[in-house]
Amino acid sequence: MDLEVMNGLLRPKSVAVIGASNTEGKIGYSVIRSLIEGGYEGPVYPINLKSDEIQGFKAYKSVLEVPGEIDAAAIVVPARFVPQVTKECGEKGVKGLIIIASGFSEMGHSDLEKEVTDIARTYGMRVLGPNIVGILSNSDKCNASFAPCLPLPGKAALVSQSGALLIAMAASTYTRRVGFDRMISIGNMSDVNFADVVSWLDQDEATGCISLYIEGMKDGRRFMENVRKANKPVIALKSGSSKHGAAAAASHTGSLAGSGKVYDAAFEQAGVVQARDLTNLFDRTLAMSLQPPMQGENLLIVTNGGGVGVLATDSAERYGIPLRFAPEDVQAELRKYMPEFGSARNPVDLTGMAGRDWYQVSVQYSFAHDWVDGLVVLYCETAMTDPQDIAEGIKAAVDGSGVTDKPIAVSFVGGERSEAAMRWLVEHGIPAYNEPDTAVNAIAALREYARDQDTAQSFVRNEDVDEAAARAVIAKVRSEGDRDLTEWEARAVFKAYGLPVARMRLAATEDEAATAAAELDGPVVLKILSPDILHKSDAGGVKVNIQGEAAVRVAFREIIANAKSYRPDADIRGVVVQDLAKKGTEVILGSVNDATFGPMVMFGLGGIFVEILKDVTFRVAPISAKNALRMLSEISSAPILEGARGEAPSDRKALAEALSRYSQMIYDLRDEVKESDANPVLVHEEGEGVCVVDTRIILKKR
């Protein structure tokens, strides 16, 4: 990132407005108005072909006539004129273009958009947009946008793909009392995208927390990398589920990879905290811009009312930080500040008798205690107490504790006076909410952030793999024309990556099948071998648990006959004869090549219901075995692998190892493999390993 150019774009010391206007109602009017009303202190250069003066500023016919330097040019002329003015900006030495104008790729005019970006690139300019509202910053007193006002000042930064939403959010910061320093509209992202803005905001002193409204993105891996590198929390509201992969998917995994799950995975891996809706985005942003991450699992709740305490307890469990009882010394100390009928366990119920003093001492003591990792303080307005008094007590307690590395959130339930007290708290750096649930959810965001930072897993390659062998198999298949791999071929690829595949023999004839079964020496499975039949059972092409030569011969004949009547034109090459695997839990490993994040690995419980239950989880490949282990516990049916109802627990360690190797395989071969799966993989009891009995690889079409 060229910092000087990006600074010119996002913190311009001078601004030209190309298409500035004196006519109220025009965007070229609003942008100048916003600059004036925002208090912008740098030079403003309106560009207008007809007027010499725009809203009190001297106007110019072209940026080329402007005497001074121009950092950023906001462009509001019709789309067809944008290439020409872009060229002039380049000649002038403008650093960044804020292309507010619309009528580009969002309306199908991608060529025009590309033309503009290409011109900008040749001059070394960066482009924000097109199709945006502009940029807003309180610390720079810069509202270079057609949003009517700067947001309520604060430490958050909002980056929004939707312009209308950005304007609405800027306005609603005043009613929601959530402060932002910057708001950046990025629209079509023809050049500057989420990844760029995240790394720029990370070095920006005015920004404490980065909030994103995302509809879709390109270059997901670079975004993940930049978020991982950032030292500030990133929170995202992702909307829209695209249909990529879903419709014409040839494999099970493709149809399961709704973009929701893919983004969930990528965000968690990168450490992006998510918001479920706009309100949640504001609420979580408030906490994340004011409070540090929560480094451990011990949340303490202090309250004056049992009801809100129970509500918050439920919420804590819902948001993944279930309450534990406070240790004995904490309880003993806190019992001093409550009547007999109070409770010091957790939630700590000071009872309705609690006034400022009890709140203050108990909050100060517990916030400073080593056991406590985070605090939620609840208060129900009472006749005896003044909410403002309580608020000041809480603030004094936080200051008095000297603690700055743990989060606190507050919820007051009451009327006008409580509202006012909460506003005061927020102004003094303590997030406060109407609902106990919201306060707990906000603390949970800070916990999620810390947890994701901890577990950002670094992948270490398994070196004992034979990529060349895998590629040779694929090259051979390609040389035979446009087809996918047979099970026999796919198995060879999986084997090259060290996956534990079942023993297998090829048999083109009945006699060969009999010999193969004799060699394997035990019960076997016979399966049809044909590049044209990928779902073998559907074709009557799988016979399991076949014993003895006579049975093998019968099975062979039946399979071939079934396949021929299923697809008379199929290229049938015989059967594979496979060891019958020991009993085990059937799971599926799958992969897709996502348009945004590239190769993704999927895990779920296998069998015929996988597509109905959709109980699967994804990761951006490759992943370590440790990360794979976390996938295993993420699905709803996780208890089945852990040994539910007296069943022995499954060998999850071996399964995680297989997942990691598989993720490496699909990552290495991402230029060749479109989708793949291992379905099923049989997971045996702990210590007994796993066995891959069916594999499928679908190639990218050339």
* Nearest alpha carbon to residue 695 among 484, 467, 481, 516: 484
Residue nearest to Mg ion (CB): 694
The dihedral formed by the CA atoms of 344, 348, 350 and 355, expressed in degrees to the nearest 10: 130
Cβ–Cβ under 8 Å, residues 45 and 52 = no
Query: Which bin fits 481, alpha (ψ -120 to 50), beta or left (φ > 0)?
Result: left
Beta bridge partners of 60: 47
Q: How far is the CB of 691 from ligand ADP (least distance, A)?
A: 7
Nearer to Mg ion, 204 or 694 (CB): 694
State the Cα–Cα distance between residues 269 and 227, nearest whole angstrom: 10
Residue 191's binding partner among ligand ADP, Mg ion, none (Cβ under 5 to 8 angstroms by kind) is none
Q: How far is the CB of 115 from ligand ADP (least distance, A)?
A: 49
Q: Would you tell me which residues interact with ligand ADP (CB under 6 A)?
A: 502, 525, 527, 535-537, 542, 544, 578-581, 586, 679-680, 693-694
**How many helices (H) and strands (E) in the chain?**
24, 29
3-state SS, one letter per residue, for 333-387: HHHHHCCCCCECCCCEECCCCCCHHHHHHHHHHHHHCCCCCEEEEEEECCCCCCH
* Nearest alpha carbon to residue 351 among 385, 389, 303: 303
Residue 440's binding partner among ligand ADP, Mg ion, none (Cβ under 5 to 8 angstroms by kind) is none
Nearer to ligand ADP, 211 or 251 (CB): 251
Nearer to ligand ADP, 159 or 524 (CB): 524
Residue 529's binding partner among Mg ion, ligand ADP, none (Cβ under 5 to 8 angstroms by kind) is none
Q: How far is the CB of 246 from ligand ADP (least distance, A)?
A: 20
Residue 130's binding partner among ligand ADP, Mg ion, none (Cβ under 5 to 8 angstroms by kind) is none
Q: How far is the CB of 626 from ligand ADP (least distance, A)?
A: 28
Nearer to ligand ADP, 128 or 581 (CB): 581
Cβ–Cβ under 8 Å, residues 100 and 132 = yes
State the Cα–Cα distance between residues 44 and 144, nearest whole angstrom: 10
Secondary structure of residue 46 in the 3-state scheme: strand
> Given CA atoms 507, 512, 513, 518 in this order, what sign does their dihedral have?
negative
Q: How far is the CB of 154 from ligand ADP (least distance, A)?
A: 55
Residue 502's binding partner among ligand ADP, Mg ion, none (Cβ under 5 to 8 angstroms by kind) is ligand ADP
Q: How far is the CB of 680 from ligand ADP (least distance, A)?
A: 5
Q: How far is the CB of 683 from ligand ADP (least distance, A)?
A: 12
State the Cα–Cα distance between residues 86 and 116, nearest whole angstrom: 7
Nearer to ligand ADP, 32 or 502 (CB): 502
Nearer to Mg ion, 154 or 590 (CB): 590
Q: How far is the CB of 80 from ligand ADP (least distance, A)?
A: 55
Residue 250's binding partner among ligand ADP, Mg ion, none (Cβ under 5 to 8 angstroms by kind) is none
Nearer to ligand ADP, 238 or 696 (CB): 696
Q: How far is the CB of 487 from Mg ion (least distance, A)?
A: 9
Nearer to ligand ADP, 523 or 598 (CB): 523
State the Cα–Cα distance between residues 273 and 531, nearest whole angstrom: 44
Residue 527's binding partner among Mg ion, ligand ADP, none (Cβ under 5 to 8 angstroms by kind) is ligand ADP
Nearer to ligand ADP, 535 or 557 (CB): 535
Task: For residue 691, report the phi and psi dihedrals to the nearest 5 degrees.
Answer: -135, 120
Nearer to Mg ion, 75 or 546 (CB): 546
Nearer to Mg ion, 129 or 541 (CB): 541
Residue 413's binding partner among ligand ADP, Mg ion, none (Cβ under 5 to 8 angstroms by kind) is none
Q: Would you tell me which residues interact with Mg ion (CB under 5 A)?
A: 679, 694
Residue 179's binding partner among Mg ion, ligand ADP, none (Cβ under 5 to 8 angstroms by kind) is none
Residue 495's binding partner among Mg ion, ligand ADP, none (Cβ under 5 to 8 angstroms by kind) is none
Contacts of 543 (CB under 8 A, 6+ apart): 525, 526, 527, 555, 558, 559
Q: How far is the CB of 245 from ligand ADP (least distance, A)?
A: 20
State the Cα–Cα distance between residues 488 and 508, nearest whole angstrom: 12
Residue 544's binding partner among ligand ADP, Mg ion, none (Cβ under 5 to 8 angstroms by kind) is ligand ADP
State the Cα–Cα distance between residues 628 and 82, nearest whole angstrom: 49
> Given CA atoms 112, 116, 122, 126 in this order, what sign does their dihedral have?
negative
State the Cα–Cα distance between residues 430 and 385, nearest whole angstrom: 20
* Nearest alpha carbon to residue 196 among 118, 142, 129: 129
Q: How far is the CB of 553 from Mg ion (least distance, A)?
A: 24
